[in-house]
Amino acid sequence: MLIIPPPKLTKLERPSSVELTASPDDLWAEFGQLQIRDSTRKQYVKAIDNFCQFAYNGSATPETIEEFLALDRYAAIEIVLKYRRHSIDKNLAPSTINVRLAAIKSLVDMARKLGKTTVDLSDIESIPAESYRDTRGISVEQFKLMLDAIVGSPTGGNPSTPIGIRDYAIMLLFWGNALRRGEIASANIEDFLPQQQKLKILGKGKRAKVAIDLSDSVSYALEEWLNFHPCNLPGQPLITSLSHNCYGARIAGDSIYRIVQGYAEAAGIEQRVSPHRLRHSSITAFLDASGGNLRAAQALSRHSNQNTLTLYDDNRRQEQKVASGVLESLLVGNGGKTSG
């Protein structure tokens, strides 16, 4: 049995009233097979491992999980609250902390339903999420430079290598449909419907895929990519890796991040450009071009709350800067100098 090291936590005795009704190995195996998105499941498993590193000074194992689940409710809550405070003190993003808490709650809920614990973490609250701040992203001209970097020519043209053709399709999906990298990575061959110019995607927090419309250029780019696809068959991932060590496997979200950042650097863009910043860029560019059509922007972005789009709109028009300028002008006296 592993001991919780001081000063993080004080080891608490296992209540004699708690008996596991099945092997803890079964629970850990079942947790790794949760019927949720692959990316979320991997995050959850990683989060439980991180929690065990904090609480038990070691990786997640059936033994450490069994020990945690055998605590009484209040002892378990104390441990998780200390872990929550530890994460806050490390200045982790609220979204990261909330994923970790959700993973622990999910594990406990599963164990309780299977009669393996009496722990209940429902009283532990998530961290309030921060609202979007800088949503402007990069300009249209900067995005064009990134496309030119794919082609390898400052005058533009069509990409001619399998990697270039694949990456061109990825970039157009970001721009033309404001997709998230997980939505791109999770798509399969059969999700692309070229004759209808549609793509079925699994949206954030969704359990079922929905079809979105593609423009001519995006649909054509995907068709071109399928000509070079390592295994163009139903059930295979739409976008794959082309590296030697995992050729033909589903492309990872981290790989998509590196692809985007690599072309941004090649285009000479100094700011860090992530897949999500490209999504911001796409939404903001549409609002600029449409004169602030929030209804259409909501359809493009698939945000459930239109207030999020209002923030995009405010940021692109720099409403706060305008307001600050008006207030400053009230202080300006003769000669353009402030009085005081």
pLDDT score at 250: 95
Please compute the mean of the pLDDT values over residues 98-119 and round it to a whole number.
89
pLDDT at 59 over 90: no
Active-site amino acid positions: 180, 206, 276, 279, 303, 312
Whether the predicted pLDDT of 110 surpasses 90: no
Please tell me the distance from the alpha carbon of residue 137 to that of residue 279, in angstroms, as a whole number: 8
* Nearest C-alpha neighbor of 257 from the set 240, 279, 242, 276: 276
pLDDT per position as a tens digit, 219-254? 999 999 999 999 999 999 999 999 988 999 999 989
CA gap 313, 319 in Å, rounded: 9
Average pLDDT score over residue span 316-339: 65
Question: Is residue 119 a contact partner of residue 76, using CB atoms and an 8 Å limit?
Answer: yes
Average pLDDT of the segment spanning 11-28: 43
Kindly report the pTM of this predicted structure: 0.63
> Cβ distance 87 to 100 under 8 Å?
yes
Higher pLDDT, 35 or 258: 258
Phi, psi of 198 (to 5 degrees): -135, 155
What angle in degrees, to the nearest 10, is found between the helix axes of 275-290 and 140-151?
130
d(CA 340, CA 334) in angstroms, rounded, equals: 12
Q: Which amino acid is at 334?
A: N
Task: Count how many residues are written for the chain.
Answer: 340
Contact 43, 51 (CB under 8 A): no
Alpha-carbon distance of 325 to 28, in angstroms, equals: 58
pLDDT tier at 15, thresholds 50, 70, 90 = very low
- Indicate whether 26 pLDDT > 90: no
Residue 3 pLDDT: 35
Q: What is the pLDDT of residue 127?
A: 79
pLDDT tens-digit readout, 35-55: 666 677 788 889 999 999 999
For residue 1, pLDDT beyond 50: no
DSSP 335: G
Predicted confidence (pLDDT) per residue in 153-201, tens digit: 555 556 888 999 999 999 999 999 999 999 999 999 999 999 999 999 9
